[in-house]
């Protein structure tokens, strides 16, 4: 049996802006999706045992099928005589890199089962093709984080730029899940449309986002967490301005800040899915997590910089 896994991720700065070539920063989180591939006598079988937001799997079913087809094509494999079982501790929901983690896990498990010996770079390329099933034309940031792990400075381009960043030590975060399944493809298309319609307004916002990325990198690398938190707040404002946040996300961001988070923002595709709060102190992480839970939302307590 072939086995593989992919990390979940959290975008700390500049989701959406990254699609248009603005630098972004992403961190892998400790939770993963796993895939097991075995051979069967014919046909194709698929079992999705990931824990998930209600309706997530149903809503993503047709995109997931396209994604798996893309993966088999990219690997020159026939989608026949194969059974894939997905699992792991990454809660499948919007905003946490669930689609990318599944693409990476499946590509790794297929490579393992068919003795293809794919390098990380090759897995990342295949996972990018898989991501197209979910995102249309993704920036590639999610599959990159899901493949390599760690903390990454990412710029989409003809050749993507990926630089590893280092944190002095791991930092606690809380991720709050609105429970709403979001369509990343539609959110990305919306930004593109409004950017074309209001070029001046969007140019200014995009310039500010670029500045936030550079300052964010400096703050993370010098371990100035107060500055990181402030920049996350600024980034959330910019994401509100390009209309990818919503009331649930804004509400959870405010709850996190009111309970001591030093910064909070939506993360990922937006319009639902997850937000992230920076809570270096364990007691603050607990307090923010329980405040979000009390409001009836699911939380994930994890660390970045692993
Ligand atoms: C989704 O996790 C991140 C987006 O920027 C889309 C992408 O980069 O492909 C919204």
Taking Cα atoms as reference points, which of 305, 244, 306, 242 lies closest to residue 275?
A: 244
Greater model confidence, 94 or 164: 164
Question: Whole-number mean pLDDT of the chain?
Answer: 96
The token pair at 47 is: 């079992």
Q: How many helices (H) and strands (E) does the chain have?
A: 9, 10
pTM (global) more than 0.85: yes
Compute the distance from residue 141 Cα to the ligand 1 centre, in Å. Answer: 7
pLDDT, residue 265, reads 98
**Are 175 and 37 found together in one domain?**
no
* Counted domains in the chain: 2
Q: Residue 117: CB partners within 8 Å, gap ≥ 6? A: 111
Ligand 1 atom nearest residue 19's Cα: 8
Q: What is the rounded average pLDDT of the residues 257-272?
A: 97
Compute the distance from residue 88 Cα to the ligand 1 centre, in Å. Answer: 22
Return the percentage of the chain with pLDDT > 70, whole number: 100
For residue 121, indicate whether it is catalytic. Answer: no
Q: What is the CATH number of the domain that holds 151?
A: 3.30.230.10
Domain that holds residue 210: 171-304
**Are 132 and 8 found together in one domain?**
yes
Q: Which long-range contacts (CB under 8 A, 24 or more apart) does 218-222 make?
A: 220/12, 220/25, 220/151, 220/165, 220/167, 221/165, 221/166, 221/167
Question: pLDDT tens for residues 68-86?
Answer: 999 999 999 999 999 999 9
**Are 160 and 249 found together in one domain?**
no
Q: 258 pLDDT band (50/70/90 cuts)?
A: very high
Ligand 1 atom nearest residue 15's Cα: 5
**Are 160 and 182 found together in one domain?**
no
Given ligand 1 and candidates 94, 141, 245, which is best to mutate, with the most ligand atoms within 8 Å of its CB?
A: 141
Q: What is the CATH number of the domain that holds 244?
A: 3.30.70.890
Question: pLDDT tens for residues 146-190?
Answer: 999 999 999 999 999 999 999 999 999 999 999 998 888 899 999
Picking from 110, 145, 165, the residue at the C-terminal end of a domain is 165
Q: 209 pLDDT band (50/70/90 cuts)?
A: very high
Picking from 139, 165, 191, the residue at the C-terminal end of a domain is 165
**Are 249 and 147 found together in one domain?**
no
CA-proximal residue: ligand 1, atom 9 (nearest): 138
**Are 294 and 156 found together in one domain?**
no
Q: 241 pLDDT band (50/70/90 cuts)?
A: very high
Q: 306 pLDDT band (50/70/90 cuts)?
A: confident
């Amino acid at each position: 049996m072939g086995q593989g896994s992919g990390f979940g991720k959290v975008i700390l700065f500049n989701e959406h802006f990254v699609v248009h070539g603005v630098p972004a920063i992403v961190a892998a989180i400790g939770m993963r999706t796993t895939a097991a591939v075995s051979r069967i006598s014919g046909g194709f079988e698929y079992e999705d045992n990931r824990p998930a937001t209600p309706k997530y799997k149903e809503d993503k079913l047709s995109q997931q099928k396209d994604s798996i087809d893309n993966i088999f094509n990219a690997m020159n494999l026939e989608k026949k005589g194969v059974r894939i079982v997905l699992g792991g501790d990454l809660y499948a929901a919007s905003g946490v890199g669930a689609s990318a983690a599944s693409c990476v896990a499946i590509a790794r498990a297929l490579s393992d089962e068919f003795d293809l010996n794919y390098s990380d770079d090759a897995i990342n390329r295949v996972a990018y093709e898989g991501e197209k099933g979910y995102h249309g034309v993704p920036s590639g940031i999610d599959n990159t984080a899901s493949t390599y792990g760690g903390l990454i400075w990412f710029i989409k381009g003809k050749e993507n730029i990926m630089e590893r960043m280092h944190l002095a030590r791991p930092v606690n975060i809380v991720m709050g899940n609105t429970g709403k399944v979001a369509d990343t493809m539609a959110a990305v298309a919306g930004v593109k449309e409004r950017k074309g319609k209001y070029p001046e307004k969007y140019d200014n916002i995009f310039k500010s986002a670029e500045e936030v990325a550079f300052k964010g990198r400096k703050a993370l690398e010098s371990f100035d967490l107060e500055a990181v938190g402030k920049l996350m707040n600024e980034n959330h404002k910019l994401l509100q301005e390009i209309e990818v946040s919503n009331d649930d996300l804004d509400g959870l961001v405010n709850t996190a800040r009111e309970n001591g988070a030093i910064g909070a923002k939506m993360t990922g595709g937006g319009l639902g899915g997850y937000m992230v709060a920076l809570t270096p102190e364990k007691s603050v992480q607990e307090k923010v997590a329980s405040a979000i839970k009390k409001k009836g939302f699911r939380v994930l307590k994890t660390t970045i910089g692993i």
